[in-house]
Amino acid sequence: MRKSLYFILLFIALLNATTLVAQERYTVKPGDPNGINIWYMGRQIAHVMSHFGIEWLERKEREMEENTSQLLKNLAIQPGTVIADIGAGSGYHSTLLSKMVGDGKVYAVDVEKEMIAYLKNRIKLEGYKNIIPVLSTEQKVSLPANSIDVMLLVDVYHEFSFPYEMTLSMLEALKPGGKLVLVEFRAEDPNVPIKTIHKMSQRQAVKEFKALGFSFEKNIGNLPWQHCLIFRKPPK
C-alpha cells in the first residue's frame, strides 16, 4: 500500500513539474486578435490557417508575389533528396518539389486531416508517385529520426501552437548536418502587405532555433517579401 502511494505521489509530482515547465515556456496573455493568447520567447503565436485557406494558397498571383521559382533555386535540391514540406497545406510546394527530387521523396506534412485528404486526392488525380502525405500532431512532425535531408517551412512556423516541441521534433527527424529552410514574411519591412502577426524577424527566428540546437547558416535575401533562412542540424 505504501509503495503504491509512493508511486502515485511521484506521478503527481512529475506531472506538476511538467506543468510548471510548460508554464515557464509559454506565457498566456492577450495581444493581437489575429493570434492566440499564447506567447513564446516574446512572440505571440498566430492563428492557424485551415483548409478554408486553400484557395489563397493556390492563388495565381503567388509566383509573382513570392517568387516561388527563386525559392526553389535557393533550396539547391539534388535528385534523390528526401525532403519534408512541413505545413504542406494544399501541396503547392510539395508538387513542385516532387519534380526536383526525382527518385527521392517528398513528405507532405500537415496537422489538419482535411488538408491531408485534399493532398491524397490531388496526388491521385495528378499522378505523383514520390509524395507521401503525413498527418502530424501539434507537437510532433511524425517522421522517423535522422531520415530527412531538407525541411522546408513556408509561412507556417509562426502558427505552431507548440513551437518548442515541434522544433525539437524537426531537429530529431533531420539527418546529421541536414538543412532546415525557414521562409517567413519579413517583420522588418512595413511594406510587406501581410498582417504583423503573420510576419517574423530574422532576429526572432534565429533566437528560437538556436536555443534548441540548430545553427544559423545564412539568410538568402532574394525573395520579394520573405526571409529565406537556412539552419543546420549539427553533424555528429
Which CATH number goes with the domain that contains 189? Answer: 3.40.50.150
Separation CA 212–CA 217 (nearest Å): 15
pLDDT of residue 49: 78
At 17 the pLDDT is: 32
How many structural domains compose the chain? 1
**Cell triple for 57:** 494558397
Q: What's the CA gap between 183 and 228, in Å, rounded?
A: 5
Is 160 within a domain? yes
Report pLDDT for 198: 97
3-class secondary-structure state, position 45: strand
Determine, yes or no, domain membership for 27. no
| Residue 34 three-state SS | coil
pLDDT at 81: 98
Phi, psi of 148 (to 5 degrees): -115, 130
User: What's the rounded Cα separation, in Å, for the pair 49 and 192?
Assistant: 19
Query: In this structure, are residues 232 and 214 in contact, taking their beta carbons and an 8 Å threshold?
Result: yes
- Residue 103 in any domain: the answer is yes
Placement of cell 505571440 in the chain: 44
Q: Pick from 93, 91, 61: which is nearest to 75 by CA?
A: 93
Angle (CA) 204-56-159 rounded to 5° is: 30
- Tell me, what's the pLDDT at 18? 39
The answer to whether position 20 is within a domain reads: no
The pLDDT value given to residue 20? 37
Residue 16 is assigned to a structural domain of this protein: no
| Burial status of residue 125 (CB atoms within 10 A of its CB: 0-12, 13-18, 19 or more) | exposed
Q: Which residues of the chain have pLDDT under 50?
A: 1-3, 5-21
Burial track 12-32 (b if 16+ CB lie within 10 A, e otherwise): eeeeeeeeeeeeeebeeeeee
Return the SS3 of 116. helix
Residue 184: all three cell numbers together: 517567413
pTM: 0.88
The pLDDT assigned to 51 comes to 77
Burial class (CB in 10 A: 0-12, 13-18, 19+), 4: exposed
- Would 31 be classed as within a structural domain? no
HSE-up (13 A, CA, CB side) for residue 55: 1
* Pair 215, 229: CB distance under 8 Å: no
Please identify which residue in the block is written with the cell numbers 494558397: 57
Domain contains 165: yes
Q: Domain range for residue 211?
A: 48-232
Only one residue has cell 539547391, namely 76
Kindly state whether residue 6 falls inside one of the protein's structural domains. no
